[in-house]
Amino acid sequence: MKIWIDADAAPRDVKEVVFKAAHRLAVETVLVANQKIGIPASAETVSMVVVREGANVADRYIVLHSQPGDLVVTADIPLAALLVEKKVDVIDPRGEAYDAGNIASRLSMRDFMDQMRGAGMVTGGSRPYGDRDKKAFANTFDRLLTRLLKKERT
């Protein structure tokens, strides 16, 4: 079991929550990004993979190397859809877990909003990441991680 973080845009608070859990539970954790991201010295089970720059290079790396039983943290809906199809657990930084029951509608909404922006419509952006988001992430992350670790041990 590994934890993967699509790290280019992951909020610092999300990485801190994951680093603490990885340290406490000795779970291998891999950050994947287009540039080097600092890892605390105390995070012995955390490593960093720097991929070459380009669209979706980090995403392709995560899809290729993750496997069922892993947990991926990403805000990228198309990446989440590929991972759910592969039976990898996925959570976004705001605490939403993606699964076969909700990923199609999330992907459809994302594509719709992308088309609206492409047509020149102002759709607004995401609200700023705050304490509520961090708490929601930490709760869902803990629940998913506990379930995956129990499954791995049986």
User: What backbone phi and psi angles, to 5 degrees, belong to 7?
Assistant: -85, -10
- What is the pLDDT at residue 21? 96
Helices (H), 11-130: 12-25, 57-65, 77-85, 103-118
Answer whether 15's CB lies under 8 Å from 31's CB.
Answer: yes
β-pairing, 71-73 vs 46-50, is unpaired
Which stretches of the chain drop beneath a pLDDT of 70? 104-105, 107-113, 115-119, 121-125
User: Is there a contact between 123 and 117 (Cβ–Cβ < 8 Å)?
Assistant: yes
CATH code linked to domain 2-153: 3.40.50
Residue-level pLDDT at 124: 63
